[in-house]
A = this chain, B = another copy of it.
Amino acid sequence: MPTIYDVARKAGVGIGTVSRALNDSPNISPETKEKVLRVAREMGYQPHALARGLAKKRTGAIGAIVPFLTNYFYLELLKGIQHEISRSKYDLILYSADDVTRGEELLERVLRERRVDGLLYISMPLSNRAARKVRSRQLPVVLVDSYHPEVDSIHVENQQGAYQATRYLLELGYRRLGMINGKLRSFPARERRQGFLKALSDFGLSPRPEWMIECDDMDGQDGFNAPAGYRAMLSLLALDDLPEALFVASDVQAYGVLRAAREKGVRIPDDLALVAFDDIQPSELIGLSTVRQPMFEMGQRAVKRLTEKLENGVQDLWHETLGTRLIIRSTCGGDGRKG
């Protein structure tokens, strides 16, 4: 593989000049620049990414730390990230935390290793300790689908969305409501729970503890996946007294719920109404009523913010909240049925 020295020799110039030609420096005559670029192209020369990164103190890469990809939510998010990344000059390094509780270890390693210029920390909680470490580095970090007051973040109106969904069930006339949620260490899980509880309380109702199910994390994840939803539904159905409507904290969990319902002969929505959260693609086909969140846009905006920060070096704290929208389909009994 040719190095910058080979190009310099062949073009009859110094290495500095080659570097200037390749980096669009103003301090080079147009003719020299053209000649150098031509020679470089002919030789198939391309700068060594690591060497360049080392010299420039800029790696040209952005990292994303994601949990294990058990939820299609991540795919939609990644699409947005991918879209925006491919418009920028950065590459994307995908780090995966096979176990959510070890996300911060990974974060620290990545922060210190300096393989990336900026970092997306996705769908995992950030402790105060870790937040402090983040702040103490110059490396910009954006929290996605999560929140910490001292670190840039973007997420949706989880509470508001859950509130809408729950309220809709209440307005249909249902009163015996349950909720299947992810682990409460997760930010969206806590927020959605708040929204659910608020709607109940606005209707003068109290939650039934045995109907508030926090999915297990058998797989080291946060319960936001289909198998966890399936197991949660089975445990719910083992109860003597059942709710008549359910708010499920994510679509994939709802898929698990639907499967369990089908196996146990529970009819949806006749025996049990259902609203979920996310609106990933298959939900439309399945007819799942759900709260739509703009996942693609969230990924896109997170990257945009990060790259802007890298270019302009802005230092202000940034928190963005995106709206949600309730999408009514066929799992909650339609308007005519009740209420």
Give A residues with C-beta under 8 Å from B. 1, 44, 46-51, 53-54, 59, 61, 68-70, 72, 74-75, 78-79, 82-83, 85-86, 91-96, 98, 109, 112-115, 226, 252, 255, 258-259, 281-282, 284-286
Contact = CB atoms under 8 A, between A and B. Distances in A.
A270 to B, nearest CB: 18
Contact of A82 (B59, B61, B68, B284): B68
Given A46-B109, A282-B285, 7 more contacts: A49-B115, A50-B54, A50-B59, A69-B75, A86-B98, A92-B95, A255-B285
Contacts of A54: 48, 50-51, 54
Nearest to A285: B255
Contact of A285 (B47, B72, B93, B258): B258
A82 B53 contact: no
A228 B274 CA distance: 30
A68 B115 CA distance: 24
A49 B143 CA distance: 23
Given A48-B113, A50-B114, A96-B85, A281 B226 contact: yes
Given A54-B54, A69-B82, A96-B82, A112 B44 contact: yes
B74 A68 contact: no
A286 B259 CA distance: 10
5 contacts: A49-B115, A50-B50, A50-B115, A54-B54, A282-B282
Contacts of A48: 54, 113-114
Contact of A112 (B1, B82, B92, B96): B1
A75 B70 CA distance: 9
A265 to B, nearest CB: 16
Nearest to A86: B98
A130 to B, nearest CB: 14
Given A113-B48, A255-B285, A282-B286, A83 B98 contact: yes
In order of increasing CB-CB distance, the 9 nearest A-B pairs are A282-B282, A46-B112, A49-B115, A75-B75, A49-B113, A82-B96, A50-B53, A50-B50, A50-B54
Nearest to A112: B46
Given A48-B114, A50-B54, A69-B78, A91 B95 contact: yes
Contacts of A61: 93, 115
A112 B43 CA distance: 12
A82 B99 CA distance: 12
A157 to B, nearest CB: 25
Contacts of A109: 46
Contacts of A252: 281
